[in-house]
Amino acid sequence: MSDRNLAALVMAGGLGTRMRSETPKHLHLLLGRRMLDWVLDAVTATGADRTVVVVSPQTRDAIADSLPAGVELAVQPEPRGTGDAVAAAGDALAGFEGDVLVVSGDAPLITAKILSDLVAAHRRDGNAATALSIESSRDLPYGRLVRDEKGALREVVEAADATDEQLAIKELNASIYAFSAPDLWRAVDRLDARNAQGELYLTDTIRHLADAGRPVGSHLTADAAVAEGVNTRADLAHAAAILRDRVNDEHMLAGVTIVDPQTTWIEPDVELEPDAVIHQFTVLRGRTRVAADAEIGPHAVVVDAEIGAGALVGPFCYLRPGTVLEPGAKAGTFVEIKNSHVGEGAKVPHLSYIGDAEIGAGANIAAGNITANFPHQPGRPKGRTTIGRNVRTGIHNGFIAPVTVGDDAWIAAGSVITKDVPPEALAVARSRQVNKEGFASRDGDD
C-alpha cells in the first residue's frame, strides 16, 4: 500500500428476509465464524486505519454487541439501497481524506489479498473510483461494466436495468470498490432513485464520476467466488463449503494429512501440526490444537481441545471444551470427554464418559466407565475425579466425585466408587452374586 490513509466501509444493513430467520443475515455462522466476521477479518488484514460497519435500526443492537474493538458503527435509518448505506457512514468519516474501501457484509469469501490488490491498483492508476470485477459466462444477476469504444469504463449497470446487449457483457461487478474519499461523497450526493428498484445505487457513482471527467477504472480478479453474496440458506451452505476447502487446502499444503477433505470440517482457528492425520467425517472446532502424528477420526467431533503428539481420537469420539490428551493418549470409539486431562499414554478405549477428571499417565479405563461429577447439594461446584498413574479400571465402573484413585490401583468390574482408593489397592464396590437354583422351573404362584 502507500502512506495514504485507508478507511473500510462494510455494508451490513440488510435484514436478510430470504434467510427466513430471526438471526440477522450477517450474523449467521460459516465454519464457526459469523458471516460479518469473515469480512471484517479480511478488511482488518489490509491494514485499514478505520473500519465503519453500516447497520439497520433492527440489527443495530445484535451487531453492535459483538463488533471487534475499534470498529465504528453507523446506522442506515431506512433500506434505500447501497448508495444510501454508504451515505449513512458520511458523518462517521467526515473529514477523512484518504481512500475508502467499500465492501458488502454478505461477501464472506472475500480475501485480504484481493482487497489489498484492489486498493493497490486504485492508487497506481490514480483513480477516483475503482470497481472490483470478475469474468463469468454464467447469467448472473450482477451489474455489468460498460466501457466506451476505447475500452475505458463508463458505468456499471445493474442487471435489472440492463439492456439485452449489456446483459451479454461478461465482465461483472463484484460490488466491492475503492474510492478517494472526496470523490465518493461528491458522487453519493448526486445519486437518485430513478431505476427499476427505486433505490440509490452505489454503482451509479461510477457514471457520475466519469461524466465529471474523473478517472474511474476496474480491477479484475480471477477468483469469481468472491462476488458471491449470501442471501439464502443455500448460499450460506455453498459459501461454507468454499471456506472449508480453503482451510483444508492450507493445512494439507502445510503437511497435514486430510483423508477426505470434502467430509472434513475444520474451523479457521484450529491449529494442526505437520504429520497429523485427520480422517473422514471429522469436525474440529474452536481453538482445538492437534500435535504431530496424532490421528483423529473417522466420525470424531473435537471442540476447544488439545491433542498431544501421537494421540489417537475416535472413531465416533466427542471431545468437549477443556479436554487435554497428552502424547500417546487414546480416546476411542464412542467415548465422550469433557474438561478433563488424560495423561501420557493413558487410554479410554471405548464406550465411556469422562467429565471433570484427571487421569494419570499409563492408566487404562475399561469399557462403560462414567465419572459422575454433579454436585450432591444445590449451589455446590462440580467435583473432580482423580485417577492416578497406571490405574486399571474394570468394565462398568462409576466414580462419584469428588473421589481419588491412587497410583497403580485396580477397580473391580461393576464397582461404583464413592470413597478414595489407596495406591496399589483393589477396590470392590458391588454386592456378592447370588444364584437362585431352579428359579426358571418354579411355579409362577410361588
The catalytic site residues sit at 350
The DSSP element (H or E) to which 359 belongs, if any, is: strand 357-359
State the pairing for strand pair 50-55/99-104. unpaired
- Residues in the chain, total: 446
Cα 151 to the center of its chain, rounded Å: 41
> Do 304 and 290 contact (CB within 8 A), yes or no?
no
Check if the beta carbon of residue 302 is closer than 8 Å to that of residue 320: no
Q: What 3-state DSSP class applies to 54?
A: strand
Q: Based on the number of CB atoms within 10 Å of its own CB, is 144 exposed (0-12), middle (13-18) or buried (19 or more)?
A: buried
Q: Where are the alpha helices (DSSP H) in 254-395?
A: none
Q: Is 73 left (phi over 0), alpha (psi -120 to 50) or beta?
A: beta
CB atoms within 10 A of CB 409: 24
Using alpha carbons, list the distances in angstroms from residue 169 to 137, 147, 152, 270: 9, 10, 14, 42
H or E element, residue 50? strand 50-55
Burial of 18 (0-12, 13-18, 19+ CB in 10 A): middle
Q: How many CA atoms lie within 13 A of 82 on its CB side?
A: 20
What is the rounded end-to-end Cα distance, in angstroms, of the chain? 94
Amino acid at 335: V
Alpha carbons 223 and 239: distance in angstroms, whole number: 13
